[in-house]
Amino acid sequence: MAESGALGPDEVERLRVALAEGKPTPVWFTSVAVGVEAGLQAKVVAFDEPAEGDFIQVRPHGSRDVLAFSPAELTTVKPRPKPARIAPPPPQEPEPLTVVQGIEPAEPSRPRQRAKQQQPVEITVTLHATPDGEWSVDVLVGKKRTVRWVPVPAGDIARVAKSLPAEVGAAIALSLDAARERQLRRVAELKAELEAAQRALRDLG
């Protein structure tokens, strides 16, 4: 595939005519030119015969050598000038640091965070006793029930009653006494049943 801007047959013929009239036309090397820099200017000095392959004789600008190139390696279109490179500014030397000995920078003071004060919560403890002397406890912290009617031994209730106000202790004592009497009656009934069973066993020999 021919390079864009490369010499076509008509341009080659115009170069021949200009050379014959003593008015050689400048040409430039394309990017496919071998051994030379693309965009470098050259001057056509002769044409080889037959017009095949590298038959165009040119002298590169600034050189006395005559080199042969093909039409694809030459163009009459002057390339655009390359943008001038802007040299980067010289690096600035860092300013010397002044160190004062014996003085340490003070750390920025941090605002003290106040500890959140926990609001007091209402706690409700409820003791419940059944007629049979079985006790249970229910605990309500604020609006949340943390303990729901957990059984409590009567002996623990009796020990707690001693540290409560007299009126509360008296009410608990009445319930405990009633439960104790029921248990004593139950023990007496069981004892009578046991004695009757033992007599029946002896009678059976």
Hey, what are 88's tokens?
């980067």
pLDDT at 189: 94
pLDDT at 202: 92
Rounded to whole angstroms, the Cα distance separating 158 from 170 reads 11
pLDDT at 71: 93
pLDDT at 144: 79
Looking at the chain, list the stretches that DSSP marks H as alpha helix, in order from N- to C-terminal side.
Answer: 9-20, 154-161, 166-203
Asked if residue 168 has pLDDT above 90, the reply is no
Virtual CA dihedral for 46, 63, 80, 19, nearest 10 degrees? -20
pLDDT at 67: 92
pLDDT at 97: 57
pLDDT at 116: 67
Q: Where in the chain is the domain with CATH 2.30.30?
A: 9-75
pLDDT at 107: 66
Rounded to whole angstroms, the Cα distance separating 203 from 205 reads 5
Tens-place pLDDT, residues 85-139: 776 777 777 666 555 565 555 666 666 666 667 778 789 988 888 888 888 999 9
Asked if residue 1 has pLDDT above 50, the reply is no
pLDDT at 181: 87
3-state secondary structure 127-187: EEECCCCCEEEEEEECCEEEEEEEEECHHHHHHHHCCCCHHHHHHHHHHHHHHHHHHHHHH
- Level-2 CATH architecture, domain 9-75: Roll (2.30)
Q: What is the mean pLDDT of residues 176-201?
A: 90
pLDDT at 101: 60
pTM attached to this predicted model:
0.38
Tens-place pLDDT, residues 6-61: 888 999 999 999 999 988 889 999 989 988 898 999 999 999 888 788 899 999 99
